[in-house]
Copies of this chain bind each other. A is one copy, B any other.
Amino acid sequence: MTAFPIQVERTRTLKDKPDIHTLGFGQVFTDHMFVMDYTEGEGWHSARIMPYQPITLDPSAMVFHYGQTVFEGMKAYVTATNEVLLFRPERNFQRLNHSNDRMCIPTINEAHALVALKELVQLDREWIPTAPGTSLYIRPFIIATEPYLGVAASKNYQFIIIMSPVGSYYKEGLNPVKILVEKQYVRAAKGGTGEAKTGGNYASSLKAAELASKEGYAQTLWLDSIENKYIEEVGSMNIFFKINGTVITPALNGSILPGITRDSILHMLHSQNIPVEERRISVDEVVEAYENGTLEEAFGTGTAAVISPIGEFKYGEQQILVNNNEIGLLTQSLYDKLTGIQNGTIEDTFDWTVII
């Protein structure tokens, strides 16, 4: 690897740490941030760690107009022996580059990004909370900064990493959630940007989430954009079903975000010799399994919640109860194992964690 000099400017006044017991998600930020600039002709340059501070941009900066952004989400944990662990961070930077490619943003050097991340986490390691279920959420993102109103790829970008100590994503803790199957709005289309972690996908999801929330549902179940019948994702998570002893998850088809938690769960299931299928699965198949009593479990997977058990689906007038609205055995065991690996209480036989 080529040398990757990072200029470090430490803050003069450390901020107060938040109360660990009332910690929400993504509202409190650490003392420092990482920033790197891209200039056409010059490439990525000026890598620096500096005090967490506002961003100042021209009002014509492209990010405000044409949504050319990508981001990632991952977590750092501190172990009982005071080691700092990251979970498969190289996968996040790999996915960031896939997102970059789709959004016409110049790729970053993944190894350099990991060096920068480690240095930043090390500097702010006192911010990693230790209470069960808590962690340091890490948000790398890239924004288009060129001050120009033409519709075109920006010539300038900023790559930024900010970090936020977080409590559990779901305030109620690990509890089955109710999901509304969305029949009108779609999250992502074939030929669209669903496979990329880019702002527009999330902006377009808000309307359906708002409607679901009004009806008392925690998340939206997204269907495919063409036949409006195959299951894609749930909220900002990938989804798994256990039907008649087999675990089924929608195959990556170009409009589904390739979740790193999804990939990890697939590896864990394979290692336990549990039958797994990655394929198309329709809502009708889930309804049928429910009706003939073979729908055993359902859960979402994602960095924020890790695993989120699903207790009920609503599909038009049809109500689909899962496992009597209780957390399934497999769901619970996968949750315990994966969070255990992530926070260092269970041996990592997969070689996923990276010690800083």
Query: A: which residues have CB within 8 A of B?
Result: 25-27, 29, 33, 52-61, 63-69, 71, 102-104, 137, 139, 141, 143, 147-153, 160, 162, 164, 184-186, 188-193, 198-207, 209-210, 225-226, 228, 235-236
What DSSP secondary structure best describes chain A's contact surface? Answer: loop
A63 to B66, Cβ gap below 8 A?
A: no
Task: Report how far A147 CA is from B52 CA in the complex, Å.
Answer: 13
Task: Please name the residue on chain B nearest to A147 by beta carbon.
Answer: B27
Residues of the B chain whose Cβ atoms lie less than 8 Å from the Cβ of A202:
65-68, 151
Task: Report how far A259 CA is from B71 CA in the complex, Å.
Answer: 31
Query: A260 to nearest B CB, angstroms?
Result: 17
Residues of the B chain whose Cβ atoms lie less than 8 Å from the Cβ of A33:
59
A192 to B210, Cβ gap below 8 A?
A: no
Task: Report how far A89 CA is from B26 CA in the complex, Å.
Answer: 39
Query: A226 to nearest B CB, angstroms?
Result: 5
Could you pull out 16 A-B pairs where Cβ atoms are within 8 angstroms? A55-B61, A63-B63, A63-B64, A64-B143, A67-B67, A67-B201, A103-B204, A139-B149, A153-B210, A186-B189, A188-B189, A189-B192, A190-B225, A192-B204, A193-B203, A193-B204
Task: Please name the residue on chain B nearest to A35 by beta carbon.
Answer: B59
Task: Enumerate the 7 nearest inter-chain pairs by beta-carbon distance, A residue then B residue, closest first.
Answer: A200-B200, A67-B199, A26-B149, A189-B189, A186-B191, A67-B203, A66-B202
Query: A205 to nearest B CB, angstroms?
Result: 7
